[in-house]
């Protein structure tokens, strides 16, 4: 998947090179511009690759450093994919038009009058300028998606049957790291406190690609005080980049109860209910039977799972509500479709099997790119009755 932005950037460099070399400027000028473009594209490609694959231990970089060293290469990488796709389509359309013209001439037939290739030099320049503008638009869109849309969260409120009256806030996919600093997590913690939940649950992916960001993340979430406490399940990023002993110690120290194939019973005036959690479905060792062991089947149970694909099994066990995340709602949605819709039957939102329900949150963090488009970060408020 990471090869797609790399190929897109290489393609864009050769398009830039071709455009520069075909200009009427001096040879020395053209070679200088091509060299500078190659250096710039190469640096951006290397920087984004480093961000994606190497742990970045800079816990609290200055705003200018974050913008130049991290957001710029990440936004360029995302924008390059859409820009290259657009230019490839234009190139293919132009090639087909030329091929039709060649075939028409070889058969002795006049070329189609509606050929989009203009004969007037001024019109050609205008069309080239329009193509350049459209090719640049994805980079503007990427900057918007990283700087604004990726931060403009919304509170999504639902009322669901559960058998107990509980006000629950779900956070998921925090991805603490260079694109989700402690200050930003603190902003979410403040918003959660303002919602006055009875229970806070976090369904995995606390970190992005380094454990150094975990203490600050948990310390901010620890500030959220609720009647029944805070519970968490593990995500794939904890399995990829975390150390199990350190994870358990950190959660225990900060009073967030980590549920790994286990449960806890909560007593209320209406009667008890349980919060259960399982390990990540693909990178961990999930065991739903162990998580529910010893529970009365008649007791309402809230199941925490990082990935939503546990839902059919949860429904078979009569679990009234499962909360999950992982997919970020696709993070980028164009024309109503996101990558998550192609990967899972549960990309985002509410699902139901008989009396069991699943809610998949879009999460608050990002991965691979800090860009979000048409999928705002989400704080989920569930009024259970």
pLDDT the model gives residue 2: 64
pLDDT the model gives residue 271: 95
Task: Say which CATH class 156-384 falls into.
Answer: alpha beta
Close Cβ partners of 249 (under 8 Å, ≥ 6 residues apart): none
pLDDT the model gives residue 92: 87
pLDDT the model gives residue 125: 73
Ordered mean pLDDT values, 10 residues apiece, the chain (385 residues): 85 92 91 95 92 84 90 94 92 80 68 52 75 90 94 97 97 96 96 98 95 94 96 96 88 94 96 97 96 95 98 97 97 90 95 97 95 97 98
Q: In the chain, what is the greatest distance between 2 CA atoms, to the nearest angstrom?
A: 89
141-144, long-range: CB < 8 A, 24+ apart: 141/79, 141/82, 141/373, 142/75, 142/76, 142/78, 142/79, 142/82, 142/369, 142/371, 143/75, 143/79
- Which whole-number Å values give the CA distances from 363 to 75, 323, 326, in the listed order? 20, 11, 8
- Which whole-number Å values give the CA distances from 340 to 90, 327, 337, in the listed order? 28, 6, 8
- The structural domains of the chain, with segments of one domain joined by +, span 3-149, 156-384
pLDDT the model gives residue 336: 86
> How many other C-beta atoms lie within 10 A of the C-beta of residue 88?
13
């Amino acid at each position: 998947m990471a090869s797609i932005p790399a190929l897109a950037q290489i393609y864009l460099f050769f398009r830039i090179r071709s455009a520069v070399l075909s200009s009427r400027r001096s040879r020395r000028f053209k070679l200088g511009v091509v060299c500078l473009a190659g250096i710039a594209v190469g640096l951006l490609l290397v920087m984004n690759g480093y961000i994606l694959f190497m742990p970045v231990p800079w816990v609290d970089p200055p705003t200018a450093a974050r913008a130049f060293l991290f957001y710029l290469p990440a936004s360029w990488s995302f924008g390059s994919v859409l820009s290259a796709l657009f230019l490839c389509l234009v190139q293919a359309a132009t090639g087909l038009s030329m091929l039709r013209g060649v075939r028409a001439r070889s058969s002795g037939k006049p070329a189609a009058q509606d050929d989009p290739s203009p004969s007037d030099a001024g019109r050609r320049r205008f069309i080239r300028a329009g193509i350049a503008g459209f090719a640049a638009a994805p980079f503007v869109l990427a900057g918007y998606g990283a700087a604004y849309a990726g931060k403009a969260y919304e509170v999504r409120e639902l009322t669901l049957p559960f058998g107990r009256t509980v006000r629950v806030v779900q956070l998921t996919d925090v991805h603490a790291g260079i694109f989700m600093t402690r200050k930003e997590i603190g902003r979410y913690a403040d918003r959660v406190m303002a919602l006055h939940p009875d229970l806070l649950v976090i369904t995995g992916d606390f970190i992005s690609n380094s454990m150094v960001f975990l203490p600050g993340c948990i310390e901010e979430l620890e500030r959220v005080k609720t009647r029944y406490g805070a519970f968490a399940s593990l995500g794939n990023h904890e399995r990829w980049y975390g150390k199990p002993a350190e994870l358990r110690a950190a959660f225990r120290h900060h009073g967030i109860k980590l549920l790994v194939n286990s449960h806890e019973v909560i007593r209320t005036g209406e009667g008890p209910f349980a919060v259960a959690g399982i390990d990540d479905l693909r990178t961990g060792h999930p065991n739903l039977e162990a998580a529910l062991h010893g529970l009365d089947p008649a007791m309402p149970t809230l199941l925490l799972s990082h990935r939503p694909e546990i839902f059919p099994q949860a429904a078979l066990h009569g679990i009234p509500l499962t909360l999950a995340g992982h997919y970020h709602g696709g993070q980028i949605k164009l024309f109503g479709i996101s990558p998550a819709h192609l990967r899972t039957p549960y990309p985002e939102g509410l699902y139901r099997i008989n009396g069991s329900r699943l809610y998949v949150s879009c999460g608050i963090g990002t991965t691979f790119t800090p860009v979000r488009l048409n999928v705002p970060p989400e704080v989920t408020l569930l009024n259970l009755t």
